[in-house]
Amino acid sequence: MLSVHTSPLHQPGTGDAGGMNVYIVELSRRLAAQGIRVEIFTRATTATLPPTVELAPGVLVRHVDAGPYEGLAKEELPAQLCAFTHGVMRAWADHRPGYYDLVHSHYWLSGHVGWLAAERWGVPLVHAMHTMAKVKNAALAQGDTPEPAARVIGETQIVRAADRLIANTADEANDLVHHYEADPAKVAIVHPGVNLDRFRPAPAGLEAGRQAARAALGLPAGAFIPLFAGRIQPLKAPDVLLHATALLLEREPALRHNLLVPVVGGPSGSGLAKPEALQKLAARLGISDVVRFVPPVGQDRLAEWFRAASVLVMPSYSESFGLVAVEAQACGTPVVAAAVGGLPVAVRDGVTGYLIDGHDPADYARVLHRLAAEPGRTADLGRAAARHARSFGWDSAAAATADVYAGAMLDHHPRRLRSAHV
């Protein structure tokens, strides 16, 4: 596996680390448990990192020196792909011929390294886009920076070169065909999973678990708590939740004494240009007293936040799937989300939460007002959410991915045999 711009060892919610990190870690663990050894190549971000780290039995992370360890923005990484590819090839040279059977690249930067590696080794390339420039550019947040033309060109090249493309949802598969002219026969749909051992309701039940989680986090027991969890950048639209909170308090001033809005995560991507913008927005809206900014937390602590929340709010402009939505639901917490990308698959509208067309804060405020006023309805949604999330297990995702690998290898090797006889 190749993950150039973000390490699977990084904590999600910091820097560029997010759902893709969780995806790579969990998928690799489950593949290894099913008998597929995995090596993950990623860029070294500090000089103190060891060359290799065992992530789990059968999963090895290799750190590749490519560019300065720190201070390198994602937008600057294309200039380091040659150095990264060189590091991958050096590791390959230490092995016997045929050591690697397949390359699985994640995100377009990794796809270019994977394209070269797969060609050099004579093995198939499986690629997961995770996000697509054309899709993101079609739904930009106000003031956000469009993805560059170089990325669009790069993604188009990878789509043509890959033996298989893994899409999270049918909509993503359609986007690959529509925007990038992908061969439909090469596109496989594999829903990501959720770690159901970590993200689950408390054994004592949803309400008792919620109160225990709130006590552990120092949160008020009886408050209405709409939670944002993720990277703080325009794409994720945490500002929509803050504007909705201000409208909610205009409509129901008495709620101010019984409302808490945690924002869990750190600035990332284009959000780094104004890292304190959200705090300043809360102050301008006059809601600083009800908003709590929390630095990124580890996965176990994140599960506690999900159990403590009344509802998770995801007003994103684009989501390839929205793992956070499934993780929250697995903890028994309903989700209010924008009806974009994979979120209509992750969330069952009216059953496990609500999907909202667009990003008008007034629409989010109306739904939040209803949930605050009807705790029984919120509890019903939470119970349905926990049941729904149980269908998203990583074991089934890994098994489906292994089938994609098998199909790619079956198609690739006859081609290689034919070329050997030319």
Q: Is residue 17 a known part of a binding site? A: yes
Residue 231, annotated as binding a ligand: yes
In a domain, 420, yes or no: no
Torsion over CA: 131, 136, 141, 144 (sign): positive
Residues 135 and 185 in one domain: yes
Q: Is 101 annotated as a binding residue?
A: no
- 82 and 218 share a domain? no
Residues 368 and 238 in one domain: yes
Residue 422 lies in a domain: no
Q: Are residues 75 and 97 in the same domain?
A: yes
Query: 79 with 216, same domain?
Result: no
Question: Residue 417 domain-assigned?
Answer: no
11 annotated ligand-binding residue: yes
* Low pLDDT (below 70) residues in the chain: 11-18, 268-275, 414-422
Domain count across the chain: 2
Residue 96 annotated as binding? Answer: no
Q: Tell me whether residue 12 is annotated as binding.
A: yes
Bridge partners of 61?
40, 53
Domain contains 112: yes
Q: Is 251 labelled as part of a ligand binding site? A: no
5 marked ligand binding residue: yes
Structure confidence at residue 422 (pLDDT): 45
Q: Are residues 152 and 44 in the same domain?
A: yes
**What pTM does this model have?**
0.85
20 is in an annotated binding site: yes
Is 236 annotated as contributing to ligand binding?
A: yes
Cβ-contact 227, 312 below 8 angstroms: yes
For residue 70, the 8-state DSSP code is S
Residues 89, 170 within the same domain: yes
407 is in an annotated binding site: no
Has 18 been labeled as part of a binding site? yes
At residue 151, the pLDDT reads: 93
The reply to whether 134 sits in an annotated binding site is no
Domain enclosing residue 318, as ranges = 206-391
In whole angstroms, give the CA distance from residue 370 to residue 349: 15
Measured torsion, CA atoms of residues 235, 239, 240, 242, in degrees rounded to the nearest 10: 150
What integer pLDDT is reported at residue 116 of this predicted model? 96
- Give the CATH number, domain containing residue 294: 3.40.50.2000
Residue 92 lies in a domain: yes
Of the CA atoms within 13 Å of residue 129, those in its CB half-sphere come to 36
C-alpha to C-alpha distance for 26 and 28, rounded to whole angstroms: 5
The reported pLDDT for the residue numbered 240 is 97
How does DSSP assign 158-189, residue by residue? HHHH-SEEEESSHHHHHHHHHHH---GGGEEE
Inside any domain, residue 198 = no
pLDDT of residue 417: 45
pLDDT at 414: 62
Q: Is residue 107 part of an annotated ligand binding site? A: yes
Is residue 419 one of the residues assigned to a domain? Answer: no
Q: In what order do the strands lie in the sheet with 226-229?
A: 291-294, 261-264, 226-229, 311-314, 335-338, 353-356
Question: Do 139 and 211 have their domain in common?
Answer: no
Are 357 and 343 in contact by the 8 Å Cβ rule? The answer is no
Q: Are residues 385 and 399 in the same domain?
A: no
Same domain, 182 and 220: no
Asked whether residue 66 is domain-assigned, the answer is yes
104 is in an annotated binding site: no
The answer on whether 178 is annotated among ligand-binding residues is no
Residues 20 and 116 in one domain: yes
Residues 10 and 152 in one domain: yes
Instruction: Determine whether the annotation assigns residue 284 to a binding site.
Output: no
